Structure 1
Amino acid sequence: MEIPSLDVFKLGFIGAGNMAESIARGVAKSGVLPATAIRTSHYRAERRSVFQSFGFQILESSGQVVADSDIVILSVKPQIARKVLLELKPFFTDDKLLVSIAAGIKMRDLQEWSGQHRIIRVMPNTPAAVGEAASVMCVGEMATEKDKERVVSLFKAIGKIWTADEKFFDAVTGLSGSGPAYVYIAIEALADGGVAAGLPRDLALALASQTVLGAASMVDMSGKHPGQLKDAVTSPAGTTIAGIHELEKGGFRGTLMSAIIAATKRCCELS
């Protein structure tokens, strides 16, 4: 049963893409805000229809969204963030909070382009669509404790959220921002291995995805180091150690580490 929040504020989205939709749906479904407290604007009819179908308000322009919101979430592509914020600068006032989920855009740039001083950066990831996002936030100096509490409530509605210094955000992007893609590749490879070993494709994929889900839950819920959990599955001269030996020969761990470092470096270049 949904429990409505006692702290009702108006939430606006600049950009009505998939991530904005996931956040808005999660917030409304969890009862953090009623659907009527959420608004956006979009030039494409199909995106407007999606948001309207959940009871969210559709306004005529992004300027109206900013003017009519207490918290504004910037969820546009990083390449157009500067242009969008410069256009919306006249609509921002001191009583508003700007929350940016645009990857790679630094706090100082957000402040310069928007003229806004109360700013929080958040880096969520795509599992927000199923309520399992890993989000990290950086709180600007002028943001209030109430601002922080509200943002935490919003992003807890789509998963888990942590706080970190802005200097870590490129690495956050490289790990949790890009990380789902690495896991999807691992699931696909596990399934392909099952098929190669003789399993039907549908069974192999189901086993692979559930195995990854279960292993992640074990790490999260047991409080044990992944190495301990790995050792618990690995019997002397057994099947698991034989498989691990092949992973080590292929540089599995080093390759994953290199992927995160490469993604972090690329995020630095883009920002």
Structure 2
Amino acid sequence: MDNTLRRIDLNLLITLQALLEEQNVTRAAARLHLAQPTVSVQLARLRAVFDDPLLLPAGRGMRTTTRAEALRAPLADALQALARAVAPTRPFDPGQARNTWRVMASDYGESTVLLPALPGLRQAAPGTRLAVVELAPQRMVERAERGEIDLAFHIAADAPPVLHHRPLFTERYVLAGRRDHPRLKRRPTLKQFCALEHVIVSPQGGGFHGSTDDALAEAGAQRTVALSVPHFLFLRSTLARTDMVAMVPERLVLNDPALRVVEAPVEVPGYQMVMLWHERVHRDPAHRWLREQIAAAVA
């Protein structure tokens, strides 16, 4: 950093601008709401910093030196830029916004959180864009810290404690199969449930054991898991086209005309879905607006 900048403070630069514009110590002091001797002392300090008289006596006022004239325009620009930088944050205007928001979500989060929120976001902020990136819990904090994502949607039990979080809803599991599935006309017994062929979603891929199997084990029972898939979209297509069934989050299959939903004969603990974000955007008006819009859409 330039040595001159190290030796000067902001108040001196503000005084210098007033002196350059007024070319009179008394008027500059009145403008700054300072005593005239105080401004005279500051002018002396400015002369020492710049090694130049800056202003010279001339009749009833003062005349600027060549060095002072050279300072006039860049000083005004610099102080205006600084004023804009430290000004209070303006209220967010969604109708004029051009933000690009990046959110991290699984296909479940896309369907249950983003899809309900999307119409309202497009209507209120038509100039904005939304990018959805694949859920990667192990990279969530890192990407939020680096500003690569604005929000993430995940289950509360696995939410990183260093991120802010807001509960969105509590989810429960139901048993689902195709609309005309012959064994889902009513709630199956535990024995009938275990005899069905089940599909399971394994986000990491290849898993055949889940929370339903833990609940069954406590009841001394075991089901048949015939298919493991990484995404809910494929699971829904599989249920609609085969006789396989699945324990699925209720919001994912609610009002799906291709599927039949019944209560399972075993109680499987549900989970809480939360919205997550980093401290760096916690107070940003645009980000706060986005969070409120999403929370209201899924309330």
TM-score (normalizing by structure 1): 0.29
Return the structure number with greater relative CO, CA threshold 8 A, min gap 6. Answer: 2
Structure with more strand by fraction: 2
Higher gyration radius (CA): 2
Structure with more helix by fraction: 1
